[in-house]
Amino acid sequence: MFGRIKKLDNRVLENISRIHRPKLNRIMVTASRLGNAGLVWWAVCLPFLINPRWRLTGLIIIFSMGFTSLMGEGIIKHSVKRTRPCHSFDDDEQLIKKPKYYSFPSGHTASSFSVVTVTVLCRCPVYVIIPVFLLALLIGFSRVYLRVHYLTDVIAGMFLGVACGSVAVWAFNTLILHGLWF
């Protein structure tokens, strides 16, 4: 089974490498950088924190990103220890600096989809959810495009983000319901 997954992952990387173009390369590098340290998601969080009506959603986003990072970067990556695809390529083929740590799951994708999940479950307006979702997809795709993750890393990151975002919303709702918050 793992052999089939590895073959699929490698086939996806080969096919995506065929669409590399200078302009698309720049877009993907930019999209990937937006996900570094959750940079874009911290920026998205600011308007939520400023607006009293949405402040709790902003706090849940922050908690969700921290919880997602703990689970993905702190526990799962160091348990699975999957080598990144970029470590089998020459440096001149790489469009961004090779990350030092493990591949599975994609932390960029996990944090992105934790934010998507919080915005959906907290019933944010559609004009917020759609761009957040599309940006999360772009960031996830950029990680495969740039050969720093396999497709299965990104898919696992999506699932992890949805799970952690759901737990974050549930935890805050439980605290509020039991009068332990506000």
pTM tops 0.85, yes or no: yes
Distance, CA of 26 to CA of 30 (rounded, Å) = 6
Range of the domain at 87: 2-177
For residue 110, is it within any domain? yes
Buried b / exposed e along 27-52 (16+ C-beta atoms within 10 A): ebeebbebbeebebbeebbeebbeee
Where does residue 78 rank: exposed (0-12), middle (13-18), buried (19+ CB within 10 A)? exposed
pLDDT of residue 83: 82
pLDDT of residue 38: 87
For residue 157, is it within any domain? yes
Per-residue pLDDT of the chain in tens (182 residues, 90 and over written 9)? 677 888 888 899 889 888 889 999 999 999 999 999 888 999 999 999 999 999 999 999 999 999 999 999 999 999 998 888 877 766 556 766 777 788 899 999 999 999 999 999 999 999 999 999 999 999 999 999 998 999 999 999 999 999 999 999 999 888 876 666 55
For residue 29, the domain's CATH number is 1.20.144.10
pLDDT of residue 1: 64
pLDDT of residue 103: 83
Distance, CA of 117 to CA of 47 (rounded, Å) = 17
**Tally of domains in the chain:** 1
- Tell me which residue of 43, 38, 16 sits closest to 8, measured CA to CA: 16
For residue 182, is it within any domain? no
Residue 125 preceded by cis peptide, ω within 30: no
Name residue 125's amino acid: P
